[in-house]
Structure 1
Amino acid sequence: MSHRADASNSLDDRGYSGPLIRGQNPATLIEEATRNRITNSLYWKESCFGLNAATLLDRAVELTYFGGTYGVAMKPTPFLCLAFKLLTLVPDQEIILEYLNNAGDEFKYVRALAAFYVRLTFDPDEIYKTLEPLLLDSRKLRRRRKEEYTLTYMDEFVDELLTKERACGTSLWKLSARSVLEDLDRLEPRESPLQAELDAMDDADQEMQDVRF
């Protein structure tokens, strides 16, 4: 009961005095119906009680799939429960970047969890700067959907976070288009990681034409 009460208190804006994300209690970035499913779930009650930013990592490295809700009862995945727990903790960005990069290099679902949190909480330009390098991560991921598991890849999931309106059963706040942020000088134009190879191919083609003529 105390854990349920603690969760309820964190969602009560009248008593909330912690950090705000875009002017609101971070825990409310996930829809109320989903929050209720999370705080009523067995995983939340048994595995999320008393976690802090450090001990949550111990839970995150145990993940073997990601997703939102599943089954007829729309049960929340452990992934979504841990994402919600992060929203109630609001750890420093440096900690999330440690999840994303150092821990994420070894544990791919830790990286996916951190990427999801980044999309929910970071500023628009920081979202692009932080997530776009992960488009080079092609590791396989298992996603739990309503009735089955499906195969996807880290880069596909990151692209989903950057371009879609929903991910993991959660509405994503509207992200400014990259071109808009470039026009505002908040982002440098993105250069494809393959650009160097393309430039080399163009140079080789030009050399071939010069030899012919």
Structure 2
Amino acid sequence: MANTTVKGAIAIHGQNPQFLVETVIRNRIWESNYWKEHCFALTAESLIDQAIALRCIGGVYGNQRPTEFLCLLLKLLQLQPEKEILIEYLQADEFKYMRALAAMYVRMTFSAVEVYELLEPLMKDYRKLRYRDMAGYSLTYFDEFIHSLLTEERVCDIILPRKAKRSILEENGEIGPRKSRLLDAMEGRSDHGSDRSRSRSRSRSRSKSKSPYQSRSPSASRSRSHSPSDNGRYLSRSPSRSPSRSPDRSRSGSISPDRMDVEPTNVS
């Protein structure tokens, strides 16, 4: 039948994989038109086309109608694809809704250690997601959706299986400590700022050592400016001794009559 789990499926959390979805929601999915028209005879490969065509995530809406996201999630539980295929779904970052579908499936079926190792790197994805519920459409972000999968008990109207806390797994040595991207960014900025300050101090010290005029005192420069120089460009404060034109001389260079009584000197 179209609603039965594939043969040879492994029990997840001690039960049929499809039973991870509540009975009421599961029956509504089986009765929906999308399940009957688009989810019939799907495989792990052909399901990719339907996952790429998704335009929102969410649970039930309107008159308890399931979203296409829930229908494909139940189909994944029915098919139970291999782990390598799910990892390929997660790595296809160009299709965010298919990535969200795979993340939801990983949270419901994988072990706690694998859930943390596979979903925590996805929190660096900050793209927008449309969420549909009983109130209509709303906006969320991919990292918020992943955070809700790791911390909350109910997502998209589905009760998530219980898992061990991360702190307990760290104490048991099953998983390493979580790396904070914010802390790494802050440490990187501080190192960059210290390097920049060091380079500035070095450049200032080099400029002071190379400049020949920085070592001279201001008093020496002042005394140099007021003292007369050898080339005669600076003027001293003493009265000028430079020859000037005598008022007794005329412009033609002749001697004035007032100086005629001076005895001429004998020239040998």
Q: TM-score, normalised by structure 2?
A: 0.70
The one-letter amino acid of 1:127's match is V
Asked whether 1:37 is paired with 2:37, we answer: no
1:88 aligns with 2:78: yes
CA contact (8 A) 2:112 2:163 kept: yes
Distance of 1:89 and 1:189 partners within structure 2 = 34
For 1:164 and 1:97, locate their aligned partners in 2 and report how far apart those are by CA, in whole Å.
Answer: 23
Alignment of 1:190 with 2:178, yes or no, is: yes
When structure 1 is superposed on structure 2, of 168-177 and 74-83 the one drifting more is: 168-177
Q: Report the alpha carbon displacement of residue 19 of structure 1 after superposing the two structures with TM.
A: 1.1
Q: How many pairs were matched up?
A: 198
Equivalent of residue 142 in structure 1, options 112, 130, 139? 130
Q: Does 1:160 align with 2:144?
A: no
Q: Is 1:52 matched up with 2:43?
A: yes
Measured after TM superposition, the shift of residue 191 of structure 1 is: 1.1
- Partner of residue 6, structure 1: 2
CA shift at 1:20, angstroms? 1.1
When residues 96 and 204 of structure 1 are mapped into structure 2, their CA distance, relative to the original with a 3 A threshold, is closer
**Structure whose residues are more often helix by fraction:** 1
Amino acid of the structure 2 residue aligned with 1:83: L
TM-score by length of 1: 0.87
Q: CA deviation at 1:201?
A: 4.0
Distance 1:62 1:109 in 2: 8
Larger Rg: 2
User: Are the aligned partners of 1:115 and 1:131 in contact in 2 as well (CA < 8 Å)?
Assistant: yes
C-alpha contact 2:5 2:79 (8 A) present in aligned 1? no
Sequence identity, in percent?
48
Q: Distance in 2 between matches of 1:110 and 1:204?
A: 38
Corresponding residue for residue 115 of structure 2: 127
C-alpha offsets along residues 67-86 of structure 1, whole Å, 9 cap, x if unaligned? 01001x21000000000000
AA matched with 1:61: I
* 2:9 paired residue number: 18
Q: Does 1:181 align with 2:169?
A: yes
Q: Matches of 1:197 and 1:98 in 2, distance apart?
A: 29
Superposition misfits of 4+ residues, deviation over 2 angstroms: 194-197, 200-208
CA contact (8 A) 1:162 1:175 kept: no
> Which ranges in structure 1 are unaligned for 5 or more consecutive residues?
none
Deviation at 1:206, TM superposition (A): 7.0
Root-mean-square deviation (Å): 1.9
Superposed CA deviations along residues 24-51 of structure 1, whole A, max 9, x for unmatched, are 1111000111100000000000000000
| Contact kept in structure 2, 1:137 and 1:154, CA below 8 Å | yes
State the match for 1:74 in structure 2. 64
Secondary structure of the equivalent of 2:139? Answer: strand
Larger relative contact order (CA 8 Å, sep ≥ 6): 1
Aligned-partner Cα distance in 2 for 1:75–1:200: 49
